[in-house]
Amino acid sequence: MNTIVAPSLLSANFANLQSDVEMINRSSADWLHLDIMDGVFVPNISFGFPIIESIKEICKKPLDIHLMIVEPDKFIKDFASIGAYMINVHYEACTHLHRTIQKIKNEGVKAAVTLNPHTPVVLLEDIICDVDMVLLMSVNPGYGGQKFIPNTLQKTAELRELILQRQSKALIEVDGGVNLETGKQLVQQGANALVAGNFVFKSANPLQTINDLKML
């Protein structure tokens, strides 16, 4: 099975988003990853519903929505109605995580939980069989182009072991500092999906870069 690749729109050319989205449409990418930031949960603001609605009209790839926001429950129905394929909520932002996951699933959308670099995998023991995916942040969320945190390799292996122990069907996605070197190491440790921003959009040949990631 080829690695799932989800280019991150945060690194695209916002002066010509249509061109970059159409490039993703032509590529072998599996999903388009959208980072939604509120300037509160993370120290940055990205984009909101008008841009996502415009992207949805032209994007042929499933939308992998990553909510880096406080109180994500308020917006689950909105992101579901806009056409999200997967909604990722942060463990650190959800007081009642099980309720939030069920709320996503009740909208007919796949549900994922995201862990910041400092949050241990063991905290997912009681939820791992309820989620469709776990997203591990391999940088501190909020900005693109950051350096990969090496401890993510160990976390990926620990998460894979937890999934096997609990007989969960959850996928493992990793976001931050992904390139061919770190991507290969992550896949070796059990990652199923890779989010790549600058490595894709700033490369000389984004289509080939996506192909290369898929072959890891």
Residues designated as active site: 35, 175
Structure token pair of residue 10? 């945060």
φ, ψ (nearest 5 deg) of residue 106: -65, -20
Pick from 3, 21, 4: nearest CA to 12: 21
Q: In whole angstroms, what separates CA 84 from the centre of its chain?
A: 12
**SS3 at position 34:** strand
Alpha-carbon span 71 to 138, nearest angstrom: 23
φ, ψ (nearest 5 deg) of residue 80: -65, -45
**SS3 at position 108:** coil
Structure token pair of residue 71? 């109180």
Query: Which residue type is seen at 25?
Result: N
Place of tokens 């129905």: 77
Structure token pair of residue 66? 């990553």
Pick from 144, 145, 134: nearest CA to 190: 134
